[in-house]
Amino acid sequence: MESQHPTLPAPNPELTPELARDLAPWLALNAGTCCVLEVGGFRPTGDPAASHFGLSPLMQADEEWPLDAAGQPMQFIAQFNLLQAPWLPEALTGHALLQFFVGEKFIESSCAPETWAIQLRASTAGLTPHEQPPFRDDAWIGKGFEARWLPPQNDHPCYDDSSMRLPKGMEKFPNDAHGLCSGRTKLRGYAKSLQHEIAFLRPVKDDNGDWLPSPDEPFYVMQIDSEGKAGLNWVDGGIVYLGCHPGTGKWSVHCQFY
């Protein structure tokens, strides 16, 4: 179950009236709420608790900066103010901030757990902005930008999403539905795959030798797009995906790029 919103999500901005009519049976089975983040393009508030890329994250006064396995400071990527989001997936309800950090070997290690950090904060009370410690010369973020959440909207799956359902009489993913899955930084909706279906953990073989998803595979929660205004580029226009296991609360991270 996901947090409720008093109004229905807005239609997908890519969905024309003609497409809505032609895809009506498919859309009825394949729609989910997402909340897209707008980066820049508006007058910043200057609020240190606001969502942003590459500015100064809020932390406790005596809190240690996240370090990678080599003991080097990770780079702060983004802070997401969840209290200001008009809609939240269940995994994020009850939290005020989500902050994301990555280390130098984030991509090379295929997003190994020791190369990233997620900080979830229940409140902003008593927190102050902390400056980024020295990182590598080739930083992930080029310039800090404040961001804000847009109203909830409908999102739709990619062709390779195993949760996608086909209505009776439709044998395969409809070509006209390509492009209806938002590739922007967003909460929930459907993961926008760039190479293949999103899998946070390695699959496992069953007794018949067939490959199955790991029993510990988390649920997709949000994605972080390459944000040009902030100079953030996950290798080549890539996307980073965050997932959380509903039973254990353990987070996992995955990245795909062109």
pLDDT at 209: 78
What would the pLDDT profile of 235-245 be if each residue is shown by its tens digit?
A: 999 999 999 99
pLDDT at 6: 52
Give start and end residues of each alpha helix (H) in 30-143.
none
Average of per-residue pLDDT values in the chain:
93
Cα 233 to Cα 216: distance, rounded to the nearest angstrom: 29
At residue 101, the 3 state secondary structure works out as strand
Cα 176 to Cα 185: distance, rounded to the nearest angstrom: 23
How many CB atoms sit inside 10 A of residue 133's CB?
13
Please report, for residues 6, 20, 87, 101, 229, the alpha-carbon distance to residue 94 in angstroms, rounded to integers and kept in the order given.
18, 35, 12, 21, 30
Higher pLDDT, residue 84 or 3: 84
Interval 151-180 mean pLDDT? 96
DSSP state letters, 112-124: -GGGEEEEEES--
CATH architecture of the domain 22-256 equals Roll (2.30)
Cα 35 to Cα 189: distance, rounded to the nearest angstrom: 8
Strands of 72-173 (E only): list them: 75-81, 97-102, 116-121, 128-129, 145-149, 153-155
What would the pLDDT profile of 93-119 be if each residue is shown by its tens digit?
A: 999 999 999 999 999 999 999 999 999
Interval 127-152 mean pLDDT? 91
Cα 68 to Cα 112: distance, rounded to the nearest angstrom: 10
Helix or strand (DSSP H, E) at 29: helix 24-29
pLDDT at 114: 96
Please report, for residues 55, 67, 138, 170, 223, the alpha-carbon distance to residue 76 in angstroms, rounded to integers and kept in the order given.
8, 11, 13, 45, 16
In this structure, which amino acid lies at residue 60? Q
Query: In 3D, which of 258, 234, 242 has the Cα closest to residue 106?
Result: 234
- Residue pair 257/236 in contact by the 8 Å Cβ criterion: yes
pLDDT at 210: 83
Query: In 3D, which of 108, 103, 107 has the Cα closest to residue 76?
Result: 103
pLDDT at 7: 65
Q: Check whether 1 has a pLDDT greater than 50.
A: no
Domain boundaries, the chain: 22-256
